[in-house]
Structure 1
Amino acid sequence: MKTLRLILGDQLHHGHSWYTKTSDDVLYFMAEMRQETDYVKHHIQKVVAFFKSMRSFADWLTINEHTVIYYTLDDAKNQQDLIQNLQQLISEHHIEKFEYQLPDEYRLDEQLKAFCEKITIETKAVDSEHFLTSRTDFADFFKGKKQIVMEYFYRDMRKKYDIMMLNAKNPEGGKWNFDQSNRKKWKGSPEIPQEKQLENSVVAIYEMIQKAEVVTIGNIDVENFHWPTNRADCLKLLNYFCEELLVHFGDYQDAMHTDEYFLFHSRLSFAMNSKMLHPKEVIETVISYWRAHKETIDISQVEGFVRQILGWREYMRGMYWKEMPNYRTLNALNNTNSLPDFFWTGNTKMNCMKHAISQSLNKAYAHHIQRLMVTGNFALLTQTHPDEVDKWYLGIYIDAIEWVEITNTRGMSQFADGGLVATKPYVSSGSYINKMSNYCKGCAYKVSKKETEDACPFNALYWNFLDEKQAYFKDNQRMSMMMSLLNKMDKTKLDALKNRAQAIIANPDKY
């Protein structure tokens, strides 16, 4: 039976069971399409990385004697639309059966389901064989429970996969979570090893994208592209993380610094989200390295890393499939403001925002605290509409695919889901940023000041947010202390804070 198998751009899983056998009757199809480049304005590095990785994967399939039909963006046959391309291939190659791996984005899942309902040939959807949970495991785990708490899910995953467990009930190290040990400020030491260099030229792909006039954001070094775009480079990056960065990863995973983009972070999120690396192999590789080097690497460094992948990553995907499509419409705090223009340029006098945004534009990367407590914090404090925040986060980061982006942004960062992901909004004044970074040094604003013109904007915005959103948090136990402090604040002082905050919200690009 002549079969057409679709491989999407984030399904580059070398270990999938599809590829264990070759057959002259199976055609694999991959395509670079305007449908995917244009549904949101993406970072140029993100578009380049996916196209380069897809081509590398297609080459690997061909080397392993699979038959591949690959449409580049400028291919004359490319209809730039997934369904039109599939219809064309089914007709042209007399396809009798269509198969695809379950997509991880709801829009593509709906598109392919609708397509399969219309065509007359046999169809089959298979698992992508990447995640450690199914789409429904998360919903099943929390069914009947009053609260959805990541820690319980994480512990269950540790037990289920026997990861860092002494026995069926007890974790290694005597604790499930070493998060309290993962909050150090980096002050210039220990020394951060030089970024792992990957020999990647993407000139041809970049020129093709420019010629096609695809609208993108951000900057790129086409001669020295620093993201992995094939499995070999992904493995090099994984090994480099183990050998050079793991020893201090946990300690400084929340730290931020003007002189360092990556600190001790692995830069493996794109490799995993495109499926070039499997999460289980990443976890097992890191744990194996730790076990061989326990005399120099503390368990807290490893557990913090494992928790991000085994816990948070799977948790967010489960939330996505449990709550979509309604999740993308949630705006529990009724925020309506526009995203400031400086989110697209980095042109702001706020040092923390300037560095976090400029880094994002230059590297297509920012780590979780920069996303959550700097850019996300500012967007929430200025009461920006979550739709606008979603578009920015989905476009600017190389690892942003909707299943992981929207739950982190609309949920964890913007509290637009009303508390499904996070039990309280992650907002702070400038003090937290000062605690975890050196951003406040040399800033045009003073983190120690509150209401004056030279005061850190985060300070006034924070108290204004708490005041304006009191009704939403009156029953939130985790907000009770801050609400108590708010209610005890001198009215004159609060009015001064609110006046400054309103001026910032009215014209954020002035600051």
Structure 2
Amino acid sequence: MTTLRLVLGDQCSRTLSALEDLDPARDVVLMMEVREEGTYVPHHRQKIALILSAMRHFARALAARGVRVDYVRLDDPANTHSFGGEVARAVARHRPARLVLTQPGEWRVLEMARRWEEEHGIPVEVREDTRFLCPLPEFFRWAHGRKQLRMEFFYRDMRRRTGLLMEGDEPAGGEWNYDRENRKPLPKGAQPPTPPFFAPDAITREVMALVAREFGGAYGGLDSFRWPVTAQEARAALADFVAHRLPLFGDHQDAMAEGEPFLWHSLLSSSMNCGLLLPGEACAAAEAAWRAGQVPLNAAEGFIRQVLGWREYVRGLYWARMPAYRDMNALEARRPLPDFYWEGGSGMRCMDAAIGQTLEHGYAHHIQRLMVTGNYALLAGLDPAQVNEWYLAIYVDAYEWVELPNVSGMVLHADGGVMASKPYAASGAYINRMSDHCRHCRFDVKRSAGEGACPFNFLYWDFIARHAERFAANPRMAMPLATLGRMAPAKLAEMRAAAARHLESVSPPAPR
């Protein structure tokens, strides 16, 4: 009897659990390009192109192994353009005895899949996604009974479990975390290496033309498309990162610079998140380079912490707290997202750099996302639902399981401290310390009010004042609250008035 095996766009992995016991003589793999998945948020064109190209390359690789692939293209006239509609059509075509899939990465898709057994009258088996390093039951056991789910403690458990960067029972070098060594600004004259460019092949060019034609209202350009679309390309990207950028990745992972969108970052998250590269492969390569003396420990540890720690942690948190996590808004932020997030042109040099490169490449590194675009959203009190939609739509590596906890928890503190013990709020001084944006900006980073003052400065103190009572019991907020208490009332009033004028000019308050 035929088994219909469903492979989604972010599951382009040969080791996918849904394919483990595949019988090429009897089974059919179903892959679907559906418009609904490209439009439920206004995705960046490069994100759509990446997923469709990766899917087509993966389908071709399966077919080359003798696997029957039922591949529904976006421009198929019979395409219903929804997962549910295409599963129904495939069941009617193949009359399978059962449907097998790996657990989807997003809650809404899993909710769809849970209805298919009743809708189609066949067994539906949802298998664990074994591509991750921490099975969800393990995370749930770790999280059970904890009021606060701190990543650092999870990360240490994962180091012990995997043996990565361990010397017996102790962490390599005697420390679990070398983050304090990874906050260096760029030295003058630094020349970051150029990351690899994967020239679009015939399949990718066909997909790019399709996306340009079919998703005319989407954001971002396609001209700079450079992403790996096969497992072979993803492994080449990993090797290039380890050889040329990992050695200084640790030192400068928090730095920002004019005209340098990539610096020493790996650019591997897009490949990992759509299944072309496994997280275990990436961690093993970084550790091997350290043990061979090719990279310093702080660089290997910093990268492994992002993959083994943060990536696994946010995935576990997502599934542990959904669907309620999606609707959390602990700071009662309601202001609409300003148009400049989608279009650029804020006038703030750091914001325009981060948003501009995002529109061009579908990419910004983690400090730009957290401490520039995210910091502004936090300080301005932007609506978490709208901010989450933007992050999910605009980045090529964004899927809800990884985007939502990072944004609602880390960026916006909308979960009230489930993830982070304090909000990651900062004035312009942080951006000035970690970048060269401020020296080119029309706003003065040293001014907190008056003509030409940096918006991050007056927005920061407006944020602290607005939430002073809420943060009074948080020991990690004691320093800014003490400074606020010593501040001259007239100075505070001037900054808060500047904040009100600025916010009204870019984002009028939501109607009540």
Normalising by structure 1, what TM-score? 0.96
Cα distance in structure 1, aligned partners of 2:414 and 2:47: 26
CA deviation string 1:225-282 (max 9, x = no partner): 3100011110110000011001100000000001211100010001000011110111
Cα distance in structure 1, aligned partners of 2:506 and 2:217: 25
| Residues 1:289 and 2:286 aligned together | no
Partner residue of 1:16? 16
Partner residue of 1:380? 378
Q: Which moved more, 1:194-203 or 1:400-409?
A: 194-203
- Is the contact between residue 225 and residue 361 of structure 2 (CA under 8 Å) also seen in structure 1? no
Cα distance in structure 2, aligned partners of 1:146 and 1:3: 43
Partner residue of 1:339? 337
Partner residue of 1:145? 146
In the TM superposition, 1:359-374 aligns within 5 A as 359-374=357-372
Partner residue of 1:451? 449
Paired AA for residue 367 in structure 1: H
Cα distance in structure 1, aligned partners of 2:319 and 2:88: 28
Partner residue of 1:173? 173
In structure 2, the residue corresponding to 1:507 is in which secondary structure?
helix
Cα distance in structure 2, aligned partners of 1:116 and 1:477: 50
Paired AA for residue 132 in structure 1: L
Partner residue of 1:267? 267
CA deviation string 1:352-406 (max 9, x = no partner): 1110100110010001100000001111111111011001000000000000000
Q: Which moved more, 1:350-359 or 1:340-349?
A: 340-349
In the TM superposition, 1:40-51 aligns within 5 A as 40-51=41-52
Paired AA for residue 191 in structure 2: E
Shift of 1:97: 1.2
In structure 2, the residue corresponding to 1:148 is in which secondary structure?
coil
Paired AA for residue 267 in structure 1: L
* Pick aligned residue for 2:495 from 487, 490, 497: 497
Shift of 1:15: 2.2
Partner residue of 1:210? 212
- Is the contact between residue 31 and residue 72 of structure 1 (CA under 8 Å) also seen in structure 2? yes
Cα distance in structure 2, aligned partners of 1:480 and 1:218: 41
Cα distance in structure 2, aligned partners of 1:48 and 1:383: 33
Partner residue of 1:308? 306
- Is the contact between residue 45 and residue 215 of structure 2 (CA under 8 Å) also seen in structure 1? no
Shift of 1:435: 0.4
| Residues 1:109 and 2:107 aligned together | no
In structure 1, the residue corresponding to 2:69 is in which secondary structure?
strand
- Is the contact between residue 13 and residue 275 of structure 1 (CA under 8 Å) also seen in structure 2? yes
Cα distance in structure 1, aligned partners of 2:374 and 2:146: 29
Paired AA for residue 222 in structure 2: I
Shift of 1:190: 4.0
Partner residue of 2:62? 61
- Is the contact between residue 332 and residue 415 of structure 1 (CA under 8 Å) also seen in structure 2? yes
CA deviation string 1:421-448 (max 9, x = no partner): 1111111110000000001011000001
Partner residue of 2:241? 241
Partner residue of 1:126? 127
Cα distance in structure 2, aligned partners of 1:297 and 1:248: 8
Shift of 1:118: 3.0
Partner residue of 1:75? 76
Cα distance in structure 2, aligned partners of 1:377 and 1:311: 22
Cα distance in structure 1, aligned partners of 2:336 and 2:466: 17
Shift of 1:297: 2.1
Paired AA for residue 288 in structure 1: A
Partner residue of 1:421? 419
* Cα 1:38–1:241 shift into 2, 3 Å: same
* Cα 1:155–1:203 shift into 2, 3 Å: same
Shift of 1:19: 5.1
CA deviation string 1:21-59 (max 9, x = no partner): 542210000011012011100000000000000001001
Partner residue of 2:467? 469
Paired AA for residue 419 in structure 1: G
Cα distance in structure 2, aligned partners of 1:297 and 1:99: 42
In structure 2, the residue corresponding to 1:425 is in which secondary structure?
coil
Identical aligned pairs, as a percentage?
39
**Consecutive unaligned residues in structure 1, runs of 5 or more:** none
- Is the contact between residue 289 and residue 295 of structure 2 (CA under 8 Å) also seen in structure 1? no
* Pick aligned residue for 1:325 from 323, 326, 336: 323
- Is the contact between residue 335 and residue 507 of structure 2 (CA under 8 Å) also seen in structure 1? no
Alignment RMSD, CA only? 1.4
Normalising by structure 2, what TM-score? 0.96
Cα distance in structure 2, aligned partners of 1:210 and 1:194: 27
CA deviation string 1:190-234 (max 9, x = no partner): 43112212121433212222333453101121xx63100011110
Partner residue of 2:28? 27
Q: Which moved more, 1:83-92 or 1:128-137?
A: 128-137
* Cα 1:273–1:209 shift into 2, 3 Å: same
* Pick aligned residue for 2:408 from 404, 407, 410: 410
In structure 1, the residue corresponding to 2:51 is in which secondary structure?
helix
Q: How many residues align?
A: 505
In structure 1, the residue corresponding to 2:126 is in which secondary structure?
strand
Q: Which moved more, 1:128-137 or 1:436-445?
A: 128-137
Cα distance in structure 1, aligned partners of 2:381 and 2:22: 53
Cα distance in structure 2, aligned partners of 1:56 and 1:92: 24
Cα distance in structure 2, aligned partners of 1:64 and 1:125: 24
**Consecutive unaligned residues in structure 2, runs of 5 or more:** none
- Is the contact between residue 136 and residue 322 of structure 1 (CA under 8 Å) also seen in structure 2? no
Cα distance in structure 1, aligned partners of 2:243 and 2:466: 48
